[in-house]
Structure 1
């Protein structure tokens, strides 16, 4: 394919349709299992913590979006220190032309300006992305397992310790009631979780409970004396097949409640609700080196690993 000079410019809301097409084309080759609607992408660009002129780039061949990159605001990150996350994609037809290398270098420059480490997560089987990261001096440091559960299989009854009750967050989610308690619980539960940073109130709503993919009916909390002891947040994204898939984005248990079965009970609660409403599968991602035994919890609920990704850092 021949092309003129590529244009590099910040992303904007008008790029969403082209961005969705780019991601769909990449998914046909990369098979990450990630599918995003235009509404999902608009939600991401609306994050108040994102400075699009500084934090994003669209690589254009005329009117065609051939690659993109978004870098996140740096923050104190457990296990890493000050870090800046970054994600991007190059269209399969445009790979091996140096665009990915240039995007990684741009990310490194942005991180250096902020006095931060660059963090990039790529599929374990993507040899090209791994080669680009390695050539730029990044190191593979953490592995993540994607797990899947077939919802045709029975879901176990919910069993909770005395004094603990389950509260569903839907179907009508109450932001005023739940956003701040959930955010506070999350920041405590994930304070020592590798790669995690504190979430601000603005970003919590913008990226967690205010996005179009959030499904409050398949999200729940475990309450002890009225306080959140554990929580599960569920989302629904487009799939490549005919069935509905529940994506469990976050499972958190406060430290003093760990080892008492709350995460498994909440998962059974939301899985039973999803099963009753016709979902066919559920997926989630777990840190393969998680020290809290999360993988075992998920396997006991019926999830099984099927794919991995790798975090590279500078």
Structure 2
């Protein structure tokens, strides 16, 4: 067997990468396989190499990185190996190359808390085994949950009231969401107010789908909803400020959220949360009718360990 790594050449190698992706999804289902062809890859192309066996492309690497709210500088190493070429050391070679490249980037950046990240869904036992053998450990589990919408009409806790969400409230809403997730060690990436507004404009601009509960002039909690292109309701943000927790506000808002989506003709709603969340968010959502449909473990390893 002649295994070799070489740099990715854009765009002439894109078809070979797509062939690897197709082979992987045929076995593992709808898993995330970022890489060339995903949006604008210019900054990431130097971190993409191809693995060839006897001249045939059988795998590739990809890397992105960002800073998280708790100060972690995460270097996410991803990629894929065609199923018919596994068990031949391809994944180990590619991962070793990625770790070395991540160390180079971290050194240039002067990263204070550099950490390697790796993802392996439940349908990817081979990838999980590769990461564990390389010293990665489970950090947290991203959970995909779904619920049928319907009429619940649950009352808010005494003293709280819903008000229509308006654009002038965005500074307060942004501040509340960031405050609620600022101490998270589960991968939260803080957003500036400008980034928040960009996300709202692109994905969540229908403020009639938002819910905000107020205690007088103080915001107590907010739920952000949107409707996807397929007609499914999506809830990217649920935030209750610390002072108003443990009073049933989150549960009441989530019931009202399902009511609101049902009134718009939506029959199914989805959200993501973290299984290990200290506020037992999975339990909260299960109590209003959501069920877990997929678990996506996130693995990490201190860079250089």
Instruction: Write the mapping of 1:127-206 to structure 2, written as runs, cut at 5 A.
Output: 127-151=125-149, 154-169=150-165, 174=167, 177-195=168-186, 196-206=188-198
Does the CA-based 8 Å contact 1:123-1:308 persist in structure 2? yes
Question: Which residue in 2 is equivalent to 1:48?
Answer: none
Instruction: Write the mapping of 1:51-200 to structure 2, written as runs, cut at 5 A.
Output: 53=43, 57=47, 69-77=62-70, 81-84=71-74, 86=76, 88-90=78-80, 96=86, 97-98=90-91, 101=95, 104-105=98-99, 108-109=102-103, 112-113=106-107, 114-115=111-112, 116-151=114-149, 154-169=150-165, 174=167, 177-195=168-186, 196-200=188-192
The two structures have a TM-score, normalised by structure 1, of 0.70
Task: Report the CA distance between 1:226 and its aligned residue.
Answer: 2.8
Does the CA-based 8 Å contact 2:63-2:77 persist in structure 1? yes
Alpha-carbon distance in 2 for matches of 1:304, 1:226 = 35
Q: Secondary structure at the match of 2:117?
A: strand
Q: Secondary structure at the match of 2:202?
A: coil
Does the CA-based 8 Å contact 1:164-1:223 persist in structure 2? yes
Q: How many residues align?
A: 281
Alpha-carbon distance in 2 for matches of 1:20, 1:216 = 38
Task: Report the CA distance between 1:187 and its aligned residue.
Answer: 1.8
- Give ranges in structure 1 of 5+ residues lacking alignment: 46-50
Task: Report the CA distance between 1:236 and its aligned residue.
Answer: 4.0
User: Bigger radius of gyration, 1 or 2?
Assistant: 2
Structure 1 residue 269 and structure 2 residue 256: aligned?
yes
Task: Report the CA distance between 1:33 and its aligned residue.
Answer: 7.6
Does the CA-based 8 Å contact 1:23-1:89 persist in structure 2? no
Alpha-carbon distance in 1 for matches of 2:79, 2:250 = 34
Task: Report the CA distance between 1:260 and its aligned residue.
Answer: 1.6
Alpha-carbon distance in 2 for matches of 1:20, 1:214 = 33
Task: Report the CA distance between 1:157 and its aligned residue.
Answer: 0.6
More off after superposition, 103-112 vs 280-289 = 103-112
Alpha-carbon distance in 2 for matches of 1:59, 1:260 = 52
Label 1:10 to 1:237 Cα distance change in 2 as closer, same or farther (>3 A): farther
Alpha-carbon distance in 1 for matches of 2:205, 2:96 = 34
Label 1:34 to 1:130 Cα distance change in 2 as closer, same or farther (>3 A): closer
The two structures have a TM-score, normalised by structure 2, of 0.72
